[in-house]
Amino acid sequence: MRTWAEVDLSALRHNVRTLRRRAADTPLMAVVKADAYGHGAPRIARAAVEAGADSLAVVTVEEGEELRRAGVDAPVLVFTDLPPEELRRARALGFTVTAHSTQSARLIASVGGLKAHLKVNTGMNRWGVEPEEVGEAVRLLGDSMTGVYTHFACADDPDGPGRRETEAQIRTFERVLAARSFAGTLVHAANSAGTLWWPAARYGCVRPGVALYGLHPAGGDPEGEGLRPVMALKSYVASVRRLAPGEGVSYGFTYRAARETAAATVPVGYAEGYRRALSGRSEALIGGRRRPLLGRITMDASVFECDADTQVGDEVVLLGEQGPERVTAEELGRLAGTINYEVTTGVNPRRVERRYV
Ligand X SMILES: *Cc1c(COP(=O)(O)O)cnc(C)c1O
Binding site members for substrate: 126, 299
Binder to ligand X among 217, 267, 273, 320 (CB under 6 A)? 217
Binder to ligand X among 191, 235, 250, 261 (CB under 6 A)? 191
Total residues at the site for ligand X (CB under 6 A)? 12
Measuring CA to CA, how many Å separate 298 from each of 241, 308, 314, 316, 320? 18, 24, 21, 17, 21
Select which of 33, 115, 119, 234 is catalytic.
33
Region class of 80: left (phi > 0), else alpha (psi between -120 and 50), else beta: beta
Binder to ligand X among 4, 79, 198, 255 (CB under 6 A)? 79
For residue 301, the minimal CB distance to ligand X (Å) is 31
For residue 161, the minimal CB distance to ligand X (Å) is 18
Nearer to ligand X, 58 or 303 (CB): 58
Binder to ligand X among 96, 192, 265, 345 (CB under 6 A)? 192
Helix (H, G, I), strand (E, B) or coil at 141: helix
Is the distance from CB of 80 to CB of 58 less than 8 angstroms? Answer: no
Nearer to ligand X, 33 or 234 (CB): 33
Select which of 37, 213, 236, 251 is catalytic.
251
The residue type found at 167 is E
Concerning whether 270 is annotated as a catalytic residue, the answer is: no
Nearer to ligand X, 56 or 211 (CB): 211
For 355, phi and psi rounded to 5 degrees? -115, 120
Question: How far apart, in whole angstroms, are the C-alpha atoms of residue 158 and residue 161?
Answer: 8
Contact characters 135-174, ligand X, x per CB under 6 A: ----------------x-----------------------
Question: Minimal CB distance to ligand X: which residue?
Answer: 209
> Judged by CB under 6 A, does residue 333 bind ligand X?
no
Q: Classify strands 315-322 and 283-286 as parallel, antiparallel or unpaired.
A: antiparallel
Is the distance from CB of 165 to CB of 138 less than 8 angstroms? Answer: no
Nearer to ligand X, 152 or 270 (CB): 152
For residue 127, the minimal CB distance to ligand X (Å) is 8
Concerning whether 213 is annotated as a catalytic residue, the answer is: no
> Judged by CB under 6 A, does residue 31 bind ligand X?
yes
Options 176-184, 202-210, 220-228, 293-301: segment touching ligand X (CB under 6 A): 202-210
Is the distance from CB of 189 to CB of 150 less than 8 angstroms? Answer: yes
Q: Rg of the Cα trace of the chain?
A: 23
Helix (H, G, I), strand (E, B) or coil at 250: coil
Binder to ligand X among 105, 114, 116, 210 (CB under 6 A)? 210
> Judged by CB under 6 A, does residue 207 bind ligand X?
yes
Nearer to ligand X, 33 or 354 (CB): 33
Beta strands in the chain (DSSP E): 4-7, 29-31, 55-58, 76-78, 96-99, 115-119, 145-149, 186-188, 231-236, 239-243, 248-249, 255-256, 261-266, 283-286, 289-292, 302-306, 315-322, 325-327, 353-356
For residue 213, the minimal CB distance to ligand X (Å) is 8
- Could you list the active site residues? 33, 251
Q: Which residues bind ligand X (CB under 6 A)?
A: 31, 33, 79, 151, 191-192, 207-211, 217
